[in-house]
Amino acid sequence: MRTAPTSRIITTNQILRQEYHTLQSGDIFIGRLRLKATEEHLLLDLVERGIILFPSALSQHLCRSKIFQAHLFGRQMLPLTVPIHDQHDMLETVNLYQK
């Protein structure tokens, strides 16, 4: 994706938050987006709007989520490494380990 002549390069979370609703396709954010636990959807919104993120949204989400890491890299992890989302997954995994 090429940047438009009027593309902005944003390097701080403060400016990104201030300018969030005016961001346009081709704008660039460089840095790790600081998110609260309920704000992960902002990564998807930025990508869908064509905002270029560096590091990428995928990289930033992987950095935040051990469950996502287990899903994505499960084949490279130790045998029986599984993502656990809730108590039900925990019980199933404990039973799996006892076999």
What proportion of the chain, given as a percentage, has pLDDT over 70? Answer: 95
Q: How far is CA 1 from the centre of its chain?
A: 20
Pairing of strands 52-54, 28-30: parallel
Same domain? 55 vs 94: no
Same domain? 57 vs 80: no
83: amino acid identity, one letter: P
Secondary structure (DSSP) of 11-46: --HHHHHHHGGG--TT-EEESPPP--TT-THHHHHH
Q: What are 57-98's pLDDT values in tens digits? A: 999 999 998 889 988 998 898 888 888 889 999 999 999 888
Kindly state whether residue 28 falls inside one of the protein's structural domains. Answer: yes
Same domain? 55 vs 82: no
Please provide the average confidence, as pLDDT, over all residues in the chain: 91
Mean pLDDT computed over 8-30: 97
Entry pTM: 0.74
Length of the chain: 99
Same domain? 60 vs 31: yes
